[in-house]
A and B are shown apart, each in its own frame.
Chain A
Amino acid sequence: MGAPAISVEKLAKTYLVPVREAGLRAALVSLFRRESRRVTAVDAIGFSVEPGEVVGFLGPNGAGKTTTLKMLSGLLHPTDGEAHVLGHVPWRREHAFLQRITLVMGQRNQLIWDIPVADSMERNRAIYGLDRARYRRVLDELVELLELGSLLERPVRNLSLGERMKCELAVALLHEPQMLFLDEPTIGVDVTMQRRIREFIADYNRRTGATVLLTSHYMADVEALCRRVIVIHHGRILFDGLLAALVASFASHKTVSVQIAGEIPDLSGYGEVVSRDGERVALRVPKAETPKVTARLLADLPISDLVVEDPPIEEVIERVFAAESVP
């Protein structure tokens, strides 16, 4: 295998944050004596990502996700440590590096507000120095894949949030970057549009072999796109591995759903009853006991259907943050 697309070693970022108590007195004091403290946003993390991988970067607000993304896209200078992205040190912001990466932030936009999307596209064509033929080809592809159609002719301010996000993605991909940093690309977008965007990213990755580092609070995004996840909390990596392995090692329980014909007896002896809907009952059962419990259920009761499931990924992630230790 060749060089990794991203390699990060002992990468750290501390911010100097001014501190001041609330109130006028504190405000006056701060005029003469300023205090500040160091806040560690990213604490000596290390990982590497192979070309073509789609990696989910998970963590609660303030975990250090965006700071890491900003360091890897060259916007922030680390306090310590090393990183290489596509063979470049990102914060040197070399021309060849910037030509090959892109950054999409769900909460911010680079489209020009008052004019049609096509004009912002045209501007990026000139900025990235794309020849017309290549620009046309890429734009046509993006229009088709993202179903942009008539959106290009509409002023950005007249687009819905979801439509705007699709256009943001398109304008960010015109120069065919090999490295995509996507910071919550589906935030605030409705479920249907989320799925569209997700499918597009997966498809884009398959077709172009581009590497994708994605943060999202929507676990559906992560499940659909990322085989591998990196969980970060308080600036440290808690887990780095396959999503399936994360679930396997952190999910302590499984959900056993049974359908019972006739009257439903008390099932609390088998596990914690979490929901009950007509003939269907869901039980939360410790993982180790799942085989035993299912065998007992099947032996004791007139069961017409039985399903064993992993708990929702949100619940698993919550447990990771609660545990805060690498298994």
Chain B
Amino acid sequence: MSYFADLYATYVRVYLAAETQYRAANAIWLIGIVLEPLIYLSVWSAVAATQGGEVAGFTPGDFAAYYLVLTLVNQLTSDWHMWEFQYRVQLGHFAFLLIRPVHPIHGDIAENLAHKIAMQVVLVPALGLLALAFRPHFATNFESLVLFVPALAFAFALRFAFEWMVALACFWTTRVMAVNRAYFMVLLFLSGQVAPLEILPGWLAAIANALPFRFMIAFPVEVALGRLPVNEILDGLALQAVWTAACVALLALLWPAALRRFASVGG
């Protein structure tokens, strides 16, 4: 087995073992993961009801489908390591990450994968129950479902690289939490979480389309729901690829700078 295949397999196995220790915690995480989109779903369904059954073409069934898929996509693309960076530096855990002959991002990716695998055990049944309660209306097609796979993979890679990059701010400021919060506010509005980007005012939708955040969450959701024609999906995938490559390149540039910074101020 090659070095990295063994490394990832071992990491995932070890972290999965840790995940099984956190069953109660994962059940609580589930509430957070499900509750927020549920609130938006309820609000938009209520708005649709008062506006004669739909908002900008979205019926309550469309909203239900949108938010169920969004919950899944949001969970599958999310990562929590950016919240850990501050502690890593403050508590000196970073020293152990740097003393090892492998880039720490691999451990984080693997830990993320292990957490995702463990979470599906509770998330998928929860989404099933919500589907029964909210009666989503799916109008997807075969091409869309096939293209959802690369869209989701790119969304994960892009979001992971972007958030790891934001987290490196902890080497320049001791209050990286503030930076993280600012990022999550932007993400909330521009990634289709508060509302589907299609129903945003034109200027805001234009901003969202020009930035990478849509491609982290909303785009794969739109693809899965069959709301985009194939040519638009392909354009979107190309843009995702460009954003991901740009982020990875920037991360590769920033990492040595962050290390130099760490090495000069200590930790």
Question: A and B, one complex?
Answer: yes
Cα distance A67–B95 in the bound complex, in angstroms: 12
- Cβ < 8 Å to B, chain A residues 82-118: 91, 93, 95, 98-99, 101-103, 105, 108, 110, 112, 114-116
Q: Are B266 and A67 in contact (CB under 8 A)?
A: yes
B17 at the interface (CB under 8 A from A): yes
Q: How many pairs of A and B residues are in contact by the CB < 8 Å rule?
A: 80
Q: Does A127 contact B (CB under 8 A)?
A: yes
Contact between A126 and B92, CB atoms less than 8 A apart: no
Name the A residues within 8 Å of B142 (CB-CB).
none
Residues of chain B lying within 8 A (CB to CB) of residue A128: 100-101
Total number of A residues with any Cβ neighbor in B under 8 Å = 34
CA distance A128 to B92 in the complex (A): 21
Residue of A75, A99, A101, A119 touching B14 (CB-CB under 8 A):
A119
In the complex, which residues 83-102 of chain B have their Cβ closer than 8 Å to any Cβ of chain A? 91-93, 95-96, 98-102
Whether A110 pairs with B96 at a CB distance below 8 angstroms is yes
Instruction: Contact check, B260 vs A108: say whether CB atoms are below 8 A apart.
Output: no
- Indicate which residue in B7, B98, B260 contacts A74 across the interface (CB closer than 8 Å): B98
Interface size class of B (residues with CB under 8 A): 20 to 34
Q: What residues on B are CB-neighbors of A125 within 8 Å?
A: 10
Q: Quick one: which of B92, B259, B263, B265 has the most chain A CB within 10 A?
A: B263
- Name the distance in Å between A176's Cβ and chain B's nearest Cβ: 13
Other-chain residue from B17, B101, B265 in contact with A98 (beta carbon distance below 8 A):
B101
Whether A119 contacts B17 by the Cβ 8 Å rule is yes
- B-contact 0/1 string along A309-327, CB 8 Å cutoff: 0000000000000000000
Q: A119-140, CB under 8 A of B: which get 1 and which 0? A: 1101101111100000000000
> Which of B22, B99, B101, B266 contacts A95, CB < 8 Å?
B101
Q: Is A76 an interface residue, CB under 8 A from the partner?
A: yes
Q: Does A15 contact B (CB under 8 A)?
A: yes
The minimal Cβ–Cβ distance linking B117 to chain A, given in whole angstroms, is 16
A77 within 8 A of B: yes
A residues touching B (Cβ–Cβ < 8 Å)? 15-16, 67, 70, 73-77, 91, 93, 95, 98-99, 101-103, 105, 108, 110, 112, 114-116, 119-120, 122-123, 125-129, 155
Could you list 14 further interchain pairs (A-B, Cβ under 8 angstroms) beyond the known A76-B263, A77-B263, A105-B95?
Answer: A15-B265, A73-B99, A75-B95, A75-B98, A75-B267, A77-B264, A99-B101, A108-B96, A110-B93, A112-B14, A119-B18, A122-B14, A127-B7, A127-B100
Residues in B lying within 8 Å of A, measured CB to CB: 3, 6-7, 9-11, 13-14, 17-18, 21-22, 91-93, 95-96, 98-102, 259-260, 262-267
